A and B are shown apart, each in its own frame.
Chain A
Amino acid sequence: MNIYGVMAIYKFEMARTKRTLVQSIVAPVITTSLYFIVFGAAIGSRIDQVSGISYGAFIVPGLIMLNLLTHSISNASFGIYFPKFVGTVYEMLSAPVSTLEVVLGYVGAAASKAVILGVIILITANFFIDLKIAHPIMMMVFILLTAVSFSLFGFILGIWADNFEKLSVVPMLVVTPLVFLGGSFYSTDMLPQPWQTISHFNPVLYLVSGLRWSFYEISEVSVMLSLASILVFMFACLGVVYYLFKTGYKLRS
């Protein structure tokens, strides 16, 4: 195992964030605050309660999921896409690092950043509402698994993408709609049929539901189902990553 290699990639990726501190920390704090002001305070004051809790509190897990997903994907995809784009990837390809080590470095860094972001949002939320977390360990498990899985997904996206458009189209056209339609900011039983049923085909619903359960013990699907679905997704991504490197897909000609 090339530990130094993994650490080098990890440190490099984390340093990239440090250079863009404002963008990576201040920005999410501001957007989170905006969500609470607009949805929590302004609109939320008219929505009495959802599933027995205040609207402001209800949206916290959804908000965390939204940020985890988008940032895991964008961090990991950009991290590997950029070296391909400028050509510095030659060094990684000629280095004594295995697939697993490259993935550990890039995905580890992207997931770490996403988790830190999740914690920042949690702290920010605490200023606006009275946070109660029923199962803190399960909450961390969900946050970690989501960050890792979607960083893996982002990594795949970054390898697959051969231009900037492809890089941004998936998060924009696929991920964001799924998050918004996945019950992040409402309970799907507020939807009319057939949308309620259709919603259950949305994988993000399972993530949000699981995370929300760890906060308030309310969920739309069983927690075990949530956990299972995120694990399935993670292993599917791992499989794809393994295949990509095995064949050198889009990296080695």
Chain B
Amino acid sequence: MKLSGSDIVIECLKEQKVDTIFGFPGGAVLNIYDSLYRRGEGINHILTTHEQGAAHAADGYARASGKTGVCMATSGPGATNLVTGIATAYMDSVPVVAITGQVHSSLIGKDSFQEVDITGVTMPITKHNFLVKDVDKLADTIRMAFQIASTGRPGPVLIDICKDVTINKTEFKPAGEKSRLNLKIKNSFTEEDLDKAADAVQKAERPVILSGGGTIIAGVTDILVELSAKIKAPISTTLMGTGSVPYDYPLYMGLLGMHGTRVSNRAVSECDLLITVGARFSDRVISDMRRFAPKAKIMHIDADPAEINKNITVHYPFSGNIEQVLKGILKRVKPIEDSLWAKSVISWKKEYGNNNIDKCRLTPKLIIEKISEMTNSEAVITTEVGQNQIWAAQYYRFKRPRQYISSGGLGTMGYGTGAAIGAQIALPDKKVINIAGDGSFRMNCNELATAVHYRLPIIIAVMNNGTLGMVRQWQTLFYEKRYSQTTLDRGPDFVKLADAYGAVGIRVEKPEQVQPALEKALSSDDRPVVIDFIIDIDEMVLPIVPPGKGIDELIYD
């Protein structure tokens, strides 16, 4: 059957079982949008307000569901508007396929209208990208793109398709059984390595497990908790690992690193074996390298061989299939019944725990704990970036993986609304709440229009401190209160803004207003709700490790 390139795009998306595309049309993708109109049954296209929103939505869809997210944009400005979203997905290893239109192949290199070398631009922020100039190669390219995005360590892949390719016709052959690429990750380890690792785990007196986002991607969070319980090793998570351990697991210590809990940072500073799984030792976790886990041997288990020994020297390296490693170790170790170490960690956890909530003030802790309570800890939480992001990780009581959706690696302000839209479309039966900051929400609040149009009952809970709070906090602590360009004394009025977009807007200024506001918001089932929580400008995220300090040198009050 002879098909045009644009028809082939749609057929290939169906072949990949794509049910949703987030996108925005334009000249170079006109034909693709025409094919979508004519033969796109089964594919739900979400027209966002801005291409950045489409990219974040595809990313949120992928993180919430584990499937590959798809976004589409035209050439030039459409494509460059995707860039921040692609970089966000890249830093957090999220499978996204971005399809962009490109000018006619004969016009490439001539500075034609809306021509941008988007494969050049996105080379360092994609797992791979393609420029398609020949319709005969189109179908296989799309198939490879999906395979690359979702295999091994996932990541975004961009396919740039020349306009003439979308017009030209070729014989379309449905995908065969065999894929063209061999992307299998090779295991770097042997059975003897597993023996040695298990031996080290068994003999460790003070083991700690660190769980990163890779455990969620690999789907090994249950096995990890099982291992922890078997050997009585307390677990910390990175920001990206939030949700990989249920909040009420007794040996769960919370975040590690810059905003780590006192118990996490102390336990890691004292441990003699740090079993790190699916984490990459980012600077936000290790701070001062010399003071990070100084007494420990490091075991590192990751899908990506290049992560081993990249930022820290590893004693027990394992790259490849994380599940096989964990199961291999689990099988080999004998249960530890009584652990002094675990007991002392639990006692530190109690000692450092702060449960005296200040009920007279509207604080982020009070708000987010209430959100957690009223959603039975079942909601999917997206965040913006800054204090709101850390507060959400600290105070919402996450039960399972893929529940906390946040831009960890890139730290993209403006991520949360798009991500919430994507997550809500992936999981129509879940409550999706974007815990936002006022500064971040302002950046991409335009996507409220999208949420309203598609009747998505997402809740945007703005922690409105009237400031770029995380930056202000640094200015308070490390810049002698010189508040250079961080005060947001200028609106907009988020309640009126919500109203203008056709969403529900609620303002909350006192603790007793929290419950009724949330009740109202949670009862909306076809309209987004913005809750403007007015909090103090000097609210801080604590603990914090000052720049250049070790993780054991926390400021905590």
Are A and B a genuine interacting pair, yes or no? no
